[in-house]
Amino acid sequence: MGKPFLENVTSYIDAMKSIQETILANIVLVGQIPAPTFHESQRAKMFMERLAEAQVDECTVDDFQNPIGIIRGSSRQKPPIFMVAHLDTFIDKEVDHNFTIKKNAVFGPGALDNSAGVGVLISMPEILQRLGLEFESDIILAGVIHSLGQGNLKGIRQLLDNWEGPIRGAVCVEGGELGRLNYYSEGIRRCDIECDISKSAGGWEQRFKPNAILILNEVINRVLRLRLPQRPRARVIVGKISGGFKHGIIAYDARLGLEIQSDSDKMVNEIYRDINDIVDGLKHEYQVNMTVKTISSTNASTLEFNHPLVKACVAIMKKLDLNPISEPSGSELSILLSKKIPAVTLGLTHGENYHLNNAKIEINSLFKGIAQIVGVIQAIDSGVCDEK
Amino acid sequence: MKNKWLRKNTFHYSDFRDLKHLVAEKEKKNLTISLCLPTLNEEKTIAKEIVIMKSELITRYPLLDEIVVIDSGSTDKTMEVAEQFGADVYSADDILPDLNKYKGKGENLWKALYITKGDIIVYLDADIKNIHHRFAYALVGPLILSDNIKYSKAFYDRPIAIDKKKIRATGGGRVTELVIRPLFSIFFPELTQILQPLSGEYAGFREIFEKIPFPIGYGIETSMILDIYEKWGLDVIAQVDLEKRVHRNQDTKALGRMAFVIMKTFLDRIEKLGLIDKKHELFNEMIQFSLVEDSYEPDIYSFGTGDRPPIIEIEDYRRKFNIK
């Protein structure tokens, strides 16, 4: 017997194009509302208003203020399917958030991460209506707050902790990059190391203290000397550094941001202990204040490559001439998988300048990205996650 | 002066936020509404205006019946992009081709009367960076819901985009405060209640627009207010607070040229009203100076002046709209 989610998926692209102004308007209108982590309330309000206007069967916010829309399915027995997009962005609210639409692209801060995802999610009632699709499962459209950085995925954690009953499967929707297929997440611990020499010596004495930037440089050198195993795979990424006042004065304070990543939670913890030891050693050696603070952490979790959901995603993507690329993802996916919910993260379109103020999303490839997501929801509704 | 009109005829866009109600009233009164976007090299902003208006006010709530772009000779991709996103696009030169051809915003708006079908026409500038559908629904709101109001005009707090990253909370409206408000205060104090007479966003009934002359260039906003005020009085005019409009900043010299055209239009109008008596014809060139190496060189700008007559006087228009 043929699989309807494979048979029809290519025809969805043209149907999407016929409502392009609805989809693009939603991406732009939601993207123009600043939503740095912990300040997503205006974006959440718009999320709710849009779903209410589209007359979804239920619109609500959970106890944590995640906005949620429910499109009721035909079966009372089948658990719901989640579609998730994080509402927050890395962009400061002072930045000009006005978007631009050109011939084949939309530009704006946070366009890829994740206005496109949120815009498509709130367009979903109109998209499904245009395609004439109905499902057995309820479709839960969830915009989650407090995801990025220090948010530490609190929105999705709270949503799932308080959700009663099983969940059939989930798709996390991200703006970019079309072709990504994330079905496993690494163990991750994100840390800030702060070195402050002024607290250990006041007044003129601190002139003779070592330079805070150079101490963090020594931390980096020693972290790089750590012997990390090939199996389980592990790495430490030094992602951010800042400190000091001016060119001619030694730095009194400095900060280093790094992330430990591994397939194994145990390995993440071991490396974290090693880094703590390095910091303690240098603290003692240089007689300065230095602290390691965990900003966020997620556990390693995975679907098997031969899980029917992964296989269905690959088949849908190939049908759409997409080449699936799999990498670990540390986003909402990790929380869903850790709860044993079959889930994947998919990208909607191609783009550039991912985290810059002029982030770009391609319009043409967007329709293929949406078709792919609808196909995967159909696949879950047809039972691919029920098979294992 | 009492501010009776200001209190009675000033609205906020949120007064018209109930789009379902607005559409129902529009249908009850059997009205059609056209949105007109005059353009000249607006490829950066035109697509967003069309996408948002079409999505929100045609697909979601059928308030607008058409979106028409009238272009006065763009050399960028304005027309191509506008067409791609579903607007009806016309080159101003191709409309009423037997008439003399002029370039200017007023010319585009006048010709739009011939091309559009609506009982109500909404004119929006095509360079609005923070375009939102309130710009259109808030302007038609008073026209649909009131039986007396025939023309509505936008006002807003105008932050100027000072660089690509930051916007500031206030500013803008310099030509309004330095030119038109002093002139209104001197000649028509009642009109000072119109907070931003030069705003480029307004809507009105065809029956009003077709009976007034349109200056070809920048003076259109000034003349429109003066003509409507003179013919029908202030009570047919409303103003609506759209809260914020982000536009491109213009340097002082460019604003000076704009002020020149506006003053010229104003003086022509008040002469026709018999309020002043000119001893000789006014000059038609704006002269500014630049320092080039060690000498001051004049930059001389000539402006096509003159009015298009009320379009109801044009035979082709009367034929098209079956006016006897």
Which positions in chain B touch A95 (Cβ < 8 Å)? 165-166
Q: Does A26 touch chain B (CB under 8 A)?
A: yes
- Cα torsion through B128, B205, B12, A87, rounded to 10: -40
8 Å CB contact of B51 and A103: no
Domain coordinates in residue numbering, chain A: 4-185+300-381, 187-298
Coil, strand, or helix at residue A346? strand
Instruction: Please name the residue of chain A whose CA is at the shortest distance from the CA of residue B50.
Output: A21
Q: What is the CATH number of domain A187-298?
A: 3.30.70.360
For A126, name the nearest residue in chain B, comparing CA atoms only: B60
Closest partner CB to B48 (pick from A20, A99, A103): A99
Mapped to the 3 state alphabet, what secondary structure does chain B carry? Answer: CCCHHHHHHEEEHHHHCCHHHHHHHHHHCCCCEEEEEEECCCCCCHHHHHHHHHHHHHHHCCCCCEEEEEECCCCCCHHHHHHHCCCEEEEHHHCCCCCCCCCCHHHHHHHHHHHCCCCEEEECCCCCCCCCCHHHHHHHHHHHHCCCCCEEEEEEECCEECCCCCECCCCCCHHHHHHHHHHHHHHCHHHHHCCCCCCCCEEEEHHHHCCCCEECCCCHHHHHHHHHHHHHCHHHEEEEEEEECCECCCCHHHHHHHHHHHHHHHHHHHHHCCCCCCCCCCCCEEEEEEEECCEEEEEEEECCCCEECCHHHCHHHHHHCCCC
Spatial separation of the C-alpha atoms in residues B257 and B264, rounded to whole Å = 11
Structural domain count, chain B: 1
A92 and chain B in contact, CB less than 8 A: no
What CA–CA distance (Å, rounded) separates B288 from A128?
A: 60
Is the confidence at residue A330, as pLDDT, over 80?
no
- Are the CB atoms for B176 and B197 separated by under 8 Å? yes
Distance from the A375 Cα atom to the nearest Cα atom in chain B, whole angstroms: 25
Tens-digit pLDDT profile for residues B243-266: 887 766 778 888 899 899 999 999
Do A244 and A212 meet the contact criterion of CB atoms below 8 Å apart?
yes
- Rounded CA-CA distance A279/A194 in Å is 10
In this complex, do A103 and B81 lie within 8 Å of one another by their Cβ atoms? yes
Distance CA B101, CA A159 (A): 64
Q: What ipTM describes this predicted complex?
A: 0.83
A55 touches chain B (CB under 8 A): no
Q: How confident is the model at residue B170 (pLDDT cuts 50, 70, 90)?
A: very low
Give the separation between CA A343 and CA A80, rounded to whole angstroms: 13
CATH of the domain at B273: 3.90.550.10
> What are B80-97's pLDDT values in tens digits?
999 999 999 999 999 999
The nearest alpha carbon in chain B to A31 belongs to B130
Nearest CB neighbour to A100, from listed B48, B59, B84: B48
Beta pairing class for A360-362 and A351-352:
antiparallel
CA distance A269 to B267: 80
**Residue B134 lies in domain:** 4-320
**B180-230 pLDDT, tens per residue?**
999 999 999 999 999 999 988 999 999 999 999 999 877 899 999 999 999
Q: What is the pLDDT of residues A224-253, one digit of tens each?
A: 999 998 888 899 999 999 999 888 888 999
Per CATH, the number for A4-185+300-381 is 3.40.630.10
Closest Cβ opposite residue A101 in set B51, B130, B165: B51
Least confident among A204-213, A266-275, A328-337, B265-274: A204-213
Q: Average pLDDT of A148-152? A: 88
Residue written as token pair 């206030």 = B170
**Strand B10-12 to B237-244 pairing:** parallel
For residue A361, the distance in angstroms to the closest alpha carbon of chain B comes to 14
pTM score over 0.80: yes
Under the banding of pLDDT at 50, 70 and 90, the label for residue B171 is very low
Contact assignment for B51 to A25 by CB distance below 8 Å: yes
